[in-house]
Amino acid sequence: MQTIGPESVVCAVGTVNKRPDRMINPALPTGEVEIVLEDLICLNKALNVPFLPGQKELPNEEVRMRYRYVDLRRPTVQGNLRTRSKAAKTIRDYLFSQNFVEVETPMLFKSTPEGAREFLVPTRSHNRFYALPQSPQQHKQLLMAGGIDRYFQFARCFRDEDLRADRQPEFTQVDLEMSFVQPNDVQKVIEAILKSVWKEVLAIELPANAFKRITYNDAMRRYGSDKPDTRYGMEIIDISAFVPDAAKDDVIECLVIRDGAKMTASEIKEILQSAAIQDLKSIPHVKINESNIDSWLKKQTFTHFSSHCEVAGREIARQKEVKIGDAIFLHKRPAFLSGGNTPLGRIRVAAASKMATKGLLSIDPSQYNFMWVDSFPLFSPDEEGKRTLTSTHHPFTAPEPDDIDLLISNPEKHYDIVLNGIEVGGGSIRIHSAELQTFILERVLRLQKEEYNRFSHLVDALASGCPPHGGIALGRDGIDLKDNHEANQNILIGGSDTLEAQAESAVSGVRGFLAEQKVDAILCVAGGWAGGNAKSKDFLKNTQLMMNQSANSSLIASRLAALYLKEGGILTLTGALAAAQGGTPGMIGYGLAKAAVHHLVQSLGASGSGLPNDAQVVAICPVTLDTPMNRKFMADADTSKWTPLEEVAKQLYGWCSGEIKVSNGKLVEVQTDNGQTTFREL
């Protein structure tokens, strides 16, 4: 026995007896029985187990993921997997009882624009790819056209999106579709499924009125979100009518936070940053005290010039029961609502979290507030709000019958099911008319002929006599973000955070695993491309994107180098040869961002830059790198002059190891011709 370590696999031979009453331990899985041992055989000794599944203090997540097979032995993880399995069985049993047919749809499909970026799977034919499905949307519509009037599956979906806590590259959804239905029919099925799961898995009986309803416009006006958490109040108040001369054609809103005056200035700043408020001055706020409870509107940016200020401030405080000790945030926005949230909506969520942490707001985690959100706009305008439209959800959702001549302004038959501020499902009644589908793709969304042809199979199916149909996709995996398992550490920073907040996240993350150690090299390989000249519709948007991807990433890398690079180490950034050779009129934002990287390299290479002694900084300046993304968007290009990533990796390794010499503060031209890659200092 003493030679067998913890987590070893053994075979115990003996007699199973009931424990004496005084020895029964209900806290143990085997607490009611004992084995009178006759023999013990070690089947497999456990050697060098990094941690014990039952230990109280577990190692960090990186260690647990590295030894996932040990982590899976923990009762909590086992319970999660078994709960997931039980939920799947409950859903399957209910749908089978309602005459649904489970159908597996293909995992390899052709690329079709549905909203998110796709994962591409190369074939053995050059420049030919499959796409992994973002959802089975088109497949299940083909099933409806084929007479499978009630379909479902546990669908695996893939979306190449920016990683967030609620977005993963792959996830599972309960996907279903029904013929000859209205929204209420689909919603009844989902409500029944959720009630069954809560009862069978959680032993909770949801009440008959568990599912409330709200329109998109009401949700956005009252909560500033299309997926509101209604476990707490803090509703947004439209005060435009009180100060009409200040509001004019816009909307002035305020958010009253009870006891919000107890928050410090730094806590309020943290809330605004968490809510991705870039310009903190755009959201004025005031703490209510005895001296300003009637006059709080007088000094606010949007309202100080209004002739109604004093009366309005006093009347709002009276009607909305504003009290001394509250805090009020204000915002002025366009009257037209679009997108998934408003600035005050994001502040509401961040403030609720902060107030709950401080014990000033109670949010019951065992409370389940379901909400159906419907009447979404069918299309959203572009950022200028003029001509170009995009599908709010996907281009297969049907408008209301009376709204076909008012597609832009009237609601569609889309519906989301929301639980405690999280969207757990979304669906719609689909377009079953080939003529209407064609009109939306060609005339409203203005797809090019090549893009339209990607949907020709669906349009043909609708034209064959497809019945009216609708459905929903329910639930996404609550799995952890997919880290790079080849890396020793992964640090995720908020894409919408300020540059200062992003840098702090990166520095804090590196500090967490390096402590006082230094590294030999820091490589910033940030890339990306977006074109456009000064007349382009997305000129400013693309320029900001390029600055974020290239210049800001390089600034963060420089900050890390100043703190964690060894003396004599090297910092390598990524520039572009086009930006080093002159102007870039067809891609101004891209050239501007890369030129900023080039200037940064020259500045950091000079004395007094803040980098460690004898440290070097260089930037590679390629023409075109041979990446999967470039091959996708430039499928017909001549790739003979594209630089393989392997060649760049070899050069970077040579610089880092000292095997290849490079001058400090230099830009290095990267050229490839007929399979030969050269690196030359400019």
Nearest alpha-carbon partner for 300 in 288, 636, 361, 376? 288
Q: Which of 590, 632, 653, 661 is catalytic?
A: 590
Catalytic site includes residue 594: yes
Tokens of 462: 């609708």
Q: How far apart are CA 566 and CA 522, in angstroms?
A: 10
Amino acid at 110: K
Contacts of 273 (CB under 8 A, 6+ apart): 497, 498, 501
Residue 535: active-site member:
no
Strands 101-102 and 150-158: parallel
Pairing of strands 129-131, 120-122: antiparallel
Residues 3 and 40: beta-carbon distance below 8 Å: no
Number of Cβ atoms within 10 Å of the Cβ of 146: 13
The DSSP symbol for 431 reads P
Instruction: Yes or no: say if 552 and 601 are a contact pair by the CB < 8 Å rule.
Output: no
**Which of 140, 287, 594, 666 is labelled catalytic?**
594
Do the beta carbons of residue 152 and residue 174 sit within 8 Å?
A: yes
Residue with tokens 């790198």: 625
Is residue 648 within 8 A of residue 654, CB to CB? The reply is no
Nearest Cα neighbor of 189 from 468, 171, 181 is 181
Rounded CA separation 159/659 (Å): 40
Q: At what angle do helices 539-546 and 588-604 cross, to 10 degrees?
A: 30
Beta bridge partners of 16: 35
Pairing of β 129-131 and β 150-158? unpaired
Q: Are 432 and 466 within 8 A, CB to CB?
A: yes
Task: Please name which of 397, 367, 410 lies closest in space to residue 215, comparing C-alpha atoms.
Answer: 410
Q: Which two tokens stand for residue 526?
A: 């940030």
The CA-to-CA distance between both ends of the chain, in Å, stands at 70
H/E run at residue 94: helix 75-97
Question: Does residue 656 contact residue 607 with C-beta atoms inside 8 Å?
Answer: no
Asked whether 53 and 67 are in contact (CB, 8 A), the reply is no
> Which residues are tagged catalytic?
590, 594
